[in-house]
Chains A and B, each alone.
Chain A
Amino acid sequence: MKDLIKQGLRLGSIFGVVIIFLILFGLTSTLSDILGEFVNLESSTRTGNPGGLIIFFAILSLWAGSKATASDRSNWKPALVSGVSVSLIIALLISGFILLVGFLDSLDVAMRDYLAQLDHLSIQFLLYGRDLTTGVLLTFGIFFFFGILGALLAYWYEAKQAGEVIQKQVLVLKEKVLDSKLAKQYKENPRSKWIGYGLLGLVVFITPQFLGKYWNYAMGTVGIYVLMGLGLNIVVGLAGLLDLGYVAFFAIGAYTAGLLTAPAPLPLQIGFWPVLFFSIVMAAFAGILLGIPVLRMRGDYLAIVTLGFGEIIRVLIRSDMLSPYLGGPQGIRDIAGPSLFGVSFSGKAYLYLIILAILLIILFTNYLQNSKVGRAWMAMREDETVAQAMGINTLYYKLMAFATGAAFAGLGGALFAARNQYTGPADHTLMVSINVLSLLIVGGMGSIPGVIVGAFVLKGLPEILRELDLYRLLVFGGLLVLMMIIRPEGIWPAPRRRMELHEGELDVLPPEENLVGKEG
């Protein structure tokens, strides 16, 4: 009993302190706004409608309460005891905190000078727009009540074995679906794979029609990151060369497209299509140029040199000295977009163009992966010395890996510049390289679907949760750390990588994923 209370108090204080931090960061009001919008309460810090905040607090305390009973859910008594102790301490901490800031606010202490989030309006919001006593008591009540409710619900869930029951039903349902005639026909038909692809393709091609202008733009950005992710996947995922300056090739693609099509700083104004091709070639060429000096480097040294290369490119395009040729800090304006049969591309058409580019690149990546080139890259990643002893010209294949990855990034850069009709140094910071590498890690290194999922998570989610934009870096960091702990292989890993990280659990590649098992 004593242990339970102690445990509950400890957990409660952790939760309490974390929630206070969330309030101080201002994350509470942001999340309440989102929740409020979600249930159509029009609640927000501005309107002063506290519905979202109440829901947010209720969810937090339900969660805390259910966590509290994790150690013993066999009986309702221990569940209740730990639930009460957790919710009591959280309720005391939070309402105490709100009492403190509310009291200070009523004395007109300007806390805002020290903590940006604690202005008068936000504090009023935390008090649900009521007076101090009511607000504090309400907070206490919410946390206490929902905390205990959470504990009891968790107990009930366990006692009724609701989890298992639901799981069983899902399994039964799954069996039924899989055993159905249609499913069998689908599985036995060798062409069914193409039906799946066809449906997917149809969805991909119809979706942009229903997206608004903003979403088309956002999805286009995601798409460009998918392109870069696929390129870096070859360099890092397949060939094992850690490249931290990947943005350089993106910049070279974008600037080649920009300089050759824009009226200034160079009055060339060549059409988009030949320039697109030229951008890819330039980026690939830059990839080889970077590759030559770093050929004999491995691991950390390679990472540092590539990092430097990325920065050099950024500094060059920013420099005043080169601004007559490269546009300097202002960048390049009025970059020409593509046109087909006299019709120039608009938002939707760009998205289609990007999707087409992605499909093409996926096809190429797939072919490369399942060829002697892909195997040579993998062998180099595994053991460079032995790879060379197998007759693989490691210098050549390293250069090809750099060039291929760079070409994909160059394509992405050219499309990016043409779509925005502008590109400048701010588009090509180190952050881009880090984003692309992060999306590989989050999605799953070496896996094509992983790249797509990763790009959606890292570039798409922030667009969806636009209000959370301020916290993107925080969320990034948290997400990456969490990923490394819970699922080091990524969200949608390549089967081979899953095997590497979960040794012994599965040591056979499923035939359809086997590189060599594929019938071309």
Chain B
Amino acid sequence: MSILETRNVTKRFGGLSAVDNVTLQIPEGSIYAIIGPNGAGKTTLYNCITGFYPADEGDMLFNGKSLMGLSPDRITRLGISRTYQNIRLFPAMTALENILVGAHPQLKSNYVDAILHTPRQRAEEKKALEDAQDLLNFVGLKGKGDLLARGLPYGEQRRLEMARALANKPKIILLDEPTAGMNPNESVTMMRFIESLRDELKITILLIEHDMKVVMGISEFIYVLDFGQLIAKGTPGEIQKNPQVVESYLGRGAADQHKQPSKRI
């Protein structure tokens, strides 16, 4: 059964359809990828799923429940986490605090508990701190919990953002170019890491990625977007052989790989 499903989702900005009639089905426990040239509407689709842009048409289902009309925080609380193409940590908070903010939906204590410092709040806080520490270690940032997020090197910021997304204990995580700006070695490490999320934490993965090596290496199924429309879908093998994709995207994509990551939008 699909954990996440979009049905004919359309999002228009003025006359332009940034996402046009897109239907996806992501089965539980899988690693799926969305590829497409710059401006194809991939991130816009993410923004629709996470509730930041209300979709104009269509429907989105999470575990069979519609996400339409829900606010972003509600959607996150259902168990959908995401990361951002351009890392968006809370720069003036420490690494550990960033993760704890990510764990916000997991904490059940309320305002009154907080202001009165009730035993229940204290116990929960202690547990949350331990969990956050574990996550920090899991992404390889052991001992860096007290550093400000913006003081971390680029690669560590990416991993911290991932840890923050995981703190929500998501059922599915939407990754937006997780290997952007990484060298081939780092990309491979990130690939292994993403696979371990699925294998060890049983989290379904949907990723947007430009690096074809990563996409072909880890995804089980690929959707190809161009000008907001779904132009192809299939296994990596099928996509590589699809003439339309090869023509319109892979050729350009291969060339893109040699460009500076900062040039990608």
A interface vs B, CB < 8 Å? 364, 367-368, 370-376, 378-379, 382-383, 385-394, 400, 404, 496, 499-500, 507-509, 511, 514-517, 519-520
Contact = CB atoms under 8 A, between A and B. Distances in A.
Given A364-B115, A508-B147, A389 B50 contact: yes
A410 to B, nearest CB: 15
Interface stretch (B98-106, B219-227, B236-244): B98-106
Given A372-B104, A375-B93, 19 more contacts: A368-B114, A371-B113, A372-B100, A373-B111, A376-B101, A378-B101, A385-B88, A386-B88, A389-B50, A389-B52, A390-B76, A390-B102, A391-B105, A391-B168, A400-B111, A509-B146, A514-B146, A516-B132, A520-B125
B73 A367 contact: no
Among A379, A387, A511, find the residue whose CB has the most chain B CB atoms closer than 10 A.
A379
Nearest to A389: B72
A259 B187 CA distance: 68
B73 A507 contact: no
B169 to A, nearest CB: 11
B117 A379 contact: no
A347 to B, nearest CB: 31
Contacts of A496: 92-93, 148
Interface residues on B, range: 35 or more
B91 interface: yes
A390 B117 CA distance: 23
Contact of B114 (A371, A386, A499): A371
A508 B146 contact: yes
Contact of A392 (B93, B96, B101, B146): B101
Contacts, number: 120
B117 A367 contact: yes
Given A371-B121, A375-B101, A390 B71 contact: no
B114 A511 contact: no
B151 A507 contact: yes
Interface in B57-77: 71-73, 76-77
Contact of A389 (B82, B116, B128): B82
A456 to B, nearest CB: 26
Interface string B145-167: 11110010000000000001000
6 nearest A-B residue pairs (beta carbon)? A371-B114, A391-B105, A391-B76, A507-B151, A382-B90, A367-B117
B148 to A, nearest CB: 5
Contacts of A520: 117, 122, 125-126
Given A390-B104, A516-B97, A372 B114 contact: yes
B92 A507 contact: no
B179 interface: no
8 contacts: A372-B109, A372-B114, A378-B90, A379-B90, A389-B52, A394-B73, A514-B146, A517-B146
| Residue with the greatest number of chain B CB neighbours at <10 A, chosen from A373, A385, A394, A499 | A373
B104 to A, nearest CB: 5
Task: Tell me the dominant secondary structure on chain B's binding face.
Answer: helix
B104 A391 contact: yes
A389 B146 CA distance: 23
Contacts of B93: 375, 378-379, 382, 496
A368 B118 CA distance: 12
Greatest chain A CB density within 10 A among B50, B91, B92 is at B92
A516 B96 contact: yes
B152 to A, nearest CB: 9
A509 B71 CA distance: 34
B148 A507 contact: yes
A251 B104 CA distance: 35
Nearest to A369: B114
Nearest to B121: A371
B246 interface: no
A446 B113 CA distance: 22
B24 interface: no
B229 interface: no
A509 B96 CA distance: 11
Contact of A375 (B73, B100, B151): B100
A379 B90 CA distance: 6
Contacts of B96: 514, 516
A513 to B, nearest CB: 10
B117 A382 contact: no
B130 to A, nearest CB: 11
Nearest to A371: B114
A246 to B, nearest CB: 20
B201 interface: no
A329 B239 CA distance: 79
Nearest to B91: A382
B231 interface: no
B148 A375 contact: no
A516 B100 contact: yes
A507 B76 contact: no
A448 B82 CA distance: 35
Interface string B108-144: 0101011111000110011011001000000000000
B234 to A, nearest CB: 31
Contacts of B125: 370-372, 520
B107 interface: yes
Nearest to A508: B146
B94 interface: yes
B115 A392 contact: no
B76 A375 contact: no
A465 B146 CA distance: 43
A394 B84 CA distance: 19
B146 A499 contact: no
A392 B168 CA distance: 11
B88 A383 contact: yes
Contacts of B91: 382
A372 B108 CA distance: 10
